[in-house]
């Protein structure tokens, strides 16, 4: 009889180690092969800011490496994203004139609609062009909706403005509209207006679970927000998890084509919940403050910037996001 090999005995006398997960981590090639998630440019979306009264790009101090584009500098940024294989660009407009109802957001020649047309030309079908559909960049009070006499954000009156803005963005050629205002009924209202105008093929991305977050701080500089106060009567309370499922279910029922969770890193539990619920694509937005915090720590030499960018975006995918809006989209796609 052939001699039996001695069982491998672990560090504790007589204790047999049967499972050895480290076996699959032995070297880089093996780790790469068994990776469950992979970063790729096509599942990244680049947010871009376009400011009407600029003639050259202007750096955003709180978001090192990001700029407010002028209309002339936008096409290169879109072309660069497209060349890197980025899945889409999300455009935000900063108008020269603001008023109480955000009129500049609906004007055919408003900055955001002009940006959409310029981006479409530059993209030439290689990357998807999306427009933010919200009033906050266009109102002189900075809220995402119009106000009542007593200063409250008027949900139902706001929907009419979203409908007109949506049709003007569809007229400009926007392929995806990002409904970021957190008004009740906004998805159904905009879907109805688009369909009535013959735009049944325009995709609606619903910011389904959008929290009233301090992580948006640098974005306020990026869009020169006029907001005083906060958005807590319409954006979600960070204390709530279950409520995100209610918001998501409503947006799905109203016809959202894609649902999104925002911010990302602090809301991975919510993202996992939403991903379990949704039968449609789920995206997440790694927002301005998440970008700024990592850039600031990296500038101090406190963290490994490139590793942390990859780790955080990977973590957002792992939690359930099919695609991620991140200010690093183009750079990350170029590095992959
Ligand atoms: C509102 C909007 C905001 C962001 C995207 N859309 C600001 C807010 O809700 O206060 C924030 C994005 C970011 O911080 O990167 N239209």
Average pLDDT over residues 188-194: 98
Ligand 1 centroid–CA 216 distance in Å is 6
Q: Is the CB of 216 under 6 A from ligand 1?
A: yes
Name the residue of 47, 216, 261 to mutate for ligand 1: max ligand atoms within 8 A of Cβ.
216
Is a pLDDT exceeding 80 seen at residue 241? yes
Closest ligand 1 atom number to CA of residue 218: 14
What are the sequence ranges of the domains in the chain? 40-335
Question: Looking at the whole model, is its pTM more than 0.85?
Answer: yes
Ligand 1 atom 6, closest CA: 180
Read off the pLDDT of each residue in 264-278 and give the average, rounded to a whole number: 98
Per-residue model confidence (pLDDT) at position 7 = 59
Ligand 1 near 132 CB (within 6 A):
yes
**Cα separation, 91 vs 302, whole angstroms:** 32
Cα–Cα dist 219/287, whole Å: 8
Cα–ligand 1 centroid distance for 19 (angstroms): 46
Residues in contact with 92: Cβ distance below 8 Å, sequence separation at least 6, in sequence order: 47, 48, 49, 50, 112, 132, 137, 222, 223
Using alpha carbons, select from 87, 128, 104 the residue that is nearest to residue 52: 104
**Residues labelled as active-site residues:** 210, 262
Contacts of 105 by beta carbon, 8 Å cutoff, 6+ apart: 93, 95, 112, 135, 137, 138, 161, 165, 168
Distance of CA 230 to the CA centre of its chain: 20
Contact 91, 85 (CB under 8 A): no
Instruction: Report how far Cα 214 is from the mean position of its chain's Cα atoms.
Output: 16
> Domain 40-335 is of which CATH architecture?
Alpha-Beta Barrel (3.20)
183 closest CA partner among 249, 135, 240: 135
Q: Give how far Cα 165 sits from Cα of 133, 173, 290, Å.
A: 7, 12, 29
How far is ligand 1, taken at its centre, from the CA of residue 41, in Å? 22
Please state, for a pLDDT cut of 70, what percent of the chain lies above it.
96
| pLDDT at residue 123 tops 90 | yes
Ligand 1 lined by 288 (C-beta under 6 Å): yes
Banded model confidence at residue 158, pLDDT cuts 50, 70, 90: very high
């Amino acid at each position: 009889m052939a001699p039996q090999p001695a069982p491998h005995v672990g560090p504790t006398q007589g204790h047999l180690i049967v499972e050895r997960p480290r076996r699959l981590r032995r070297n880089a090639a093996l780790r790469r092969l068994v990776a469950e998630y992979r970063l790729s440019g096509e599942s990244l979306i680049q947010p871009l800011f376009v400011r009407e009264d600029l003639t050259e790009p202007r750096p955003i101090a709180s978001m090192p490496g990001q700029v407010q584009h002028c209309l002339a500098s936008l096409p290169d940024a879109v072309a660069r994203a497209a060349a890197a294989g980025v899945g889409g660009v999300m455009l935000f407009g900063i108008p020269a004139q603001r008023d109480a109802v955000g009129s500049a957001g609906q004007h055919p020649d408003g900055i955001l609609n002009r940006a959409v047309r310029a981006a479409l030309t530059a993209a030439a079908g290689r990357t998807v062009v999306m427009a933010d559909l919200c009033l906050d960049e266009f109102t002189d009070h900075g809220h995402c909706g119009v106000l009542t006499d007593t200063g409250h954000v008027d949900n139902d009156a706001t929907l009419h403005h979203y409908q007109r803005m949506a049709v003007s963005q569809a007229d400009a050629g926007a392929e995806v509209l990002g409904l970021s205002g957190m008004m009740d009924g906004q998805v159904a209202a905009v879907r109805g207006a688009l369909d009535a105008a013959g735009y049944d093929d325009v995709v609606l991305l619903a910011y389904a679970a959008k929290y009233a977050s301090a992580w948006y701080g640098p974005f306020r500089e990026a869009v020169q927000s006029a907001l005083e106060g906060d958005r807590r009567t319409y954006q979600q309370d960070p204390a709530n998890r279950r409520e995100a499922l209610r918001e998501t279910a409503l947006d799905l029922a109203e016809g959202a084509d894609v649902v999104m969770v925002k911010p990302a890193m602090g809301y991975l539990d919510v993202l996992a919940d939403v991903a379990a619920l949704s039968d449609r694509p789920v995206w997440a937005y790694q927002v301005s403050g998440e970008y700024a915090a990592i850039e600031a720590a990296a500038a101090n030499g406190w963290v490994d910037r490139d590793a942390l960018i990859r780790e955080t975006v990977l973590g957002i995918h792992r939690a359930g996001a099919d695609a991620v809006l991140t200010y690093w989209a183009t750079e990350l796609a170029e590095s992959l």
